[in-house]
A = this chain, B = another copy of it.
Amino acid sequence: MAKNTEKRHEALRTTLVEIAERHVRQEGLSALRARKLAAEAGCAVGAIYNVFNDLTGLVLAVNGRTFHRLGAHVSGAVSALGDVEPTAKLVRMGEAYLGFAVDNPLLWRALFDVEMSSDTDVPDWYMTELGQLFAIIAAPLKELNPVADAQQIDLMTRALFSSVHGIVLLGLERRISGVPQDRIEHMIGFMVRGAVSNGDAHAKV
């Protein structure tokens, strides 16, 4: 019966994702080993390939969880603010993004370090998850720029997200930065406020 098989597969998938997540969190993406995973999961090496195409598939599953938690963390931080001006929300989002990266450095890095063979390409849910994160950012931007059209908001959203991402990325990179964390927060506030004031004045992005 195919039902039982699928159930076992699903269980193994979950187990593997949990183990892999722990490994990535503790040792980083590059320390992930098929044999180690199999040993810990109590299955054969080949079993991994019964439920995932390859290790990249497994990593994508881990990243899916991380992405989800990241989104929850950021939107949670905004909700906790209550009713404040949109700019404050955006700044808080950036800080929350930084906070997540600081608290989960290796899981966060794994989000961007997966190497995907161009044929397998990006899973749909990856884009969906990203879209939800973008939507959280877009909302305050719309409040600030009621006349901007969807495309303009989208560009501002991407620009803001990318900027904050860049600041966090290079800020946490020991080899480039050495900047203490509170300075990184200042940078985020600086760029976000700048972008907002700019977007207000010149609606044309």
Contact = CB atoms under 8 A, between A and B. Distances in A.
Contacts of A187: 155, 158-159, 162, 205
Q: Is the interface of A mostly helix, strand, loop or mixed?
A: helix
Nearest to A126: B175
Interface string A166-205: 1101110101110100010011001101111111011001
Interface string A111-124: 01001100001100
Contacts of A164: 163, 166
Contacts of A191: 159-160, 163, 191, 194-195, 198
A194 B164 CA distance: 14
**For this complex, into which size category does the number of interface residues on chain A fall?**
35 or more
Nearest to A163: B163
B186 A205 contact: yes
A77 B123 CA distance: 39
How many copies of the chain does the oligomer comprise? Answer: 2
Given A191-B195, A195-B194, A162 B158 contact: no
A11 interface: no
16 contacts: A30-B115, A112-B173, A155-B186, A155-B187, A158-B167, A158-B187, A159-B190, A159-B191, A162-B171, A163-B167, A165-B166, A166-B166, A166-B167, A191-B198, A194-B195, A197-B197
B183 A190 contact: no
